[in-house]
Chain A
Amino acid sequence: EPEVTQTPSHQVTQMGQEVILRCVPISNHLYFYWYRQILGQKVEFLVSFYNNEISEKSEIFDDQFSVERPDGSNFTLKIRSTKLEDSAMYFCASGKGSGEKLFFGSGTQLSVL
């Protein structure tokens, strides 16, 4: 079965540094998402992306966050200046279209020190 691939699986960074989390969605999918799960808490929606623009974002997704699909195959999440509270597991997901099931990646564990 096709997979959503996320790299790296673990990322450790210093507070205030920029991080880029990378995802390769399934090749014929058109909708892309980022979710995150802080340890012990729920999986939370961050942002959805379609047709090269953000279609919806949550309150968490503030000016420190951005997403990009730079080359037609990768989908990235950038955190400009990381805070301690950004430490979480970040999941990328993709879907063929609205109404189609989402496929999730295995996540990137981000630790901000």
Chain B
Amino acid sequence: GEDVEQSLFLSVREGDSSVINCTYTDSSSTYLYWYKQEPGAGLQLLTYIFSNMDMKQDQRLTVLLNKKDKHLSLRIADTQTGDSAIYFCAEGPYPYDKVIFGPGTSLSVIP
């Protein structure tokens, strides 16, 4: 069945790069997403990648997709304290319909 896994915690120093990893099982997934949740807030779509791409860059964010290994990563360059949040990896067979979420990685940025 569909399943998405992530490590639950990551701690980095301000200014370093953060890399959050994710694995998924549904090989038919068309879209893979990264959502961010700040305390008390909703789920904010950070970025997404089509399954036929292997990399996408958006300012400080770089998404890498290894479709063969079903592995997705999010790299945040020059991590800031404002990046502290929970980051959810997610996949979907249809564009933005029925998104399947991972458990979330809690990123703590140490000043």
In whole Å, how far is B87's beta carbon from the nearest beta carbon of chain A? Answer: 12
Instruction: Please determine whether B44 and A104 come into contact, CB atoms closer than 8 angstroms.
Output: yes
Q: Which residues of B contact A4 (CB under 8 A)?
A: 42
Stretch at the interface among A14-22, A60-68, A74-82, A92-100: A92-100
Q: Could you say which of A41, A45, A99, A107 contacts B99, with CB atoms under 8 Å apart?
A: A45
How many contacts A-B (CB < 8 Å)? 53
Q: Could you say which of B42, B100, B102 contacts A91, with CB atoms under 8 Å apart?
A: B42
Instruction: Please determine whether A106 and B97 come into contact, CB atoms closer than 8 angstroms.
Output: no
Where chain A touches its partner, the secondary structure class is: strand
Instruction: Please determine whether A100 and B42 come into contact, CB atoms closer than 8 angstroms.
Output: no
Q: A98–B40 Cα gap in the complex (Å)? A: 28
Interface size class of A (residues with CB under 8 A): 20 to 34
Q: Which residues of B contact A (CB under 8 A)?
A: 4, 35, 40-45, 48, 88, 90, 94-104
19 residue pairs A–B, Cβ–Cβ below 8 Å: A42-B101, A42-B103, A43-B88, A43-B104, A45-B98, A45-B99, A56-B97, A91-B42, A91-B43, A95-B96, A98-B94, A98-B96, A101-B96, A103-B42, A103-B45, A104-B35, A104-B43, A104-B44, A106-B41
